[in-house]
Amino acid sequence: MSNGPLHGVRIVEFAGLGPTPFAAMTLADMGAEVIRIQRPGLKHLMGLKYDILDRGRSFVELDLKDADDIDTVKALLGSADALIEGMRPGVMERLGLGPDEVSALNPRLVYGRMTGWGQSGPLAHAAGHDINYIALSGALHAIGPRDTPVIPLNLIGDFGGGGMYMAYGIVCALFEATRSGLGQVVDTAITDGTAHLMSMIYAMQQGNAWEDRRESNILDGAAPFYGVYKCACGGHAAVGAIEPKFYAELLARIGADAELAKTQMDRSTWPAVREEFAAIFATKTRDAWSDLLLGTDSCYAPVLTIAEAYHAPHNTARGHFGKKGQIAEPAPTPKLSRTPGSVQDCSQSIPLNVKDVVQIWQEARKS
């Protein structure tokens, strides 16, 4: 049993992909009791053994096209604190499970809705994926070399702009419900969240501190002191020495001309300095550079592979990864001092008896 900050919160999750299970996982990590509703016989992409996003919660199997199962869902929602769904706009309403219907059953319920484009707007009903949503925000345009944008996995849209904002919005609404006694709809759109993540870049662009093309700015690969360099072994080194004192230390430690510190922010010098840095970093292996720079104020880190990241000393010391059998999985975060999150010990391979869950939740609500 978790003593996390969300202990006692009960959430119904409608099975989905990407941002919705990530939001549910994040809330479960912090102690919420999350029950996932999925259709009978659902095949998971990787199998539950490997599906980290589905950790920390059990599931019930219900057919949302069956009237009796819809009634069971309503009974479960009647004793829940929050709901998470990622259907296209209008689907839940057609099932008889829209916000109005559910609010009539349980006025305190927080209704979390996840979509790419949002519940309204001209694109609301269009299909899409992470790459489309971050394209519309300007985020995709800003990332990569000058000749073409680079896809940043699906971290910015699905998980940053989607799943994390869903979890944050639900917690905000749950907090407000403790005062008002009323739930509300949390309309989480990946486009909205991505735009919010871009706040600093939008500010810099409008304040003439950001040129609206790739490889032209401090943070997009143009600046020699904030970039990635290939090493003698084929691995890469990442440097981020923005502040003058850190840049001076980087120059000294890699053996570059100290006079370069005087022209650090002169953009006309950046291409030549970048070439000089590239030649310097190519003289040693990544591990040799780590021996020289890691842990200093030169703002350096090796570019690790995913497999290497599991065993990096700093990551190990911080407890970044736990083990579930042979599966490495990220630990709950952030770390709370008094009521830390933890991975819940739920049996994921066997579906729960939904009638038992309804009874337990109803009794808990009464008490």
Indicate the residue type of 236. H
The reply to whether 356 belongs to the active site is no
Closest CA to 89 of 115, 63, 110, 65: 115
Q: Please confirm, yes or no, whether 71 is among the known catalytic residues.
A: no
Query: Of all helices (H) and strands (E), which one includes residue 61?
Result: strand 58-61
Which position among 44, 51, 129, 236 bears the catalytic label? 129
Between CA 179 and CA 69 the distance in angstroms is 33
Count other C-beta atoms under 10 Å from residue 339's C-beta.
14
Is 41 in contact with 35 (CB distance < 8 Å)?
A: no
Pairwise CA distance, residues 165 & 162, whole Å: 5
Annotated active-site residue in 158, 187, 192, 220: 158
Q: What is the DSSP letter of 237?
A: E
* CB distance 35 to 60 below 8 Å: yes
* Burial tier of 117 (Cβ tally within 10 Å: 0-12, 13-18, 19+): buried
List the catalytic residues: 129, 158
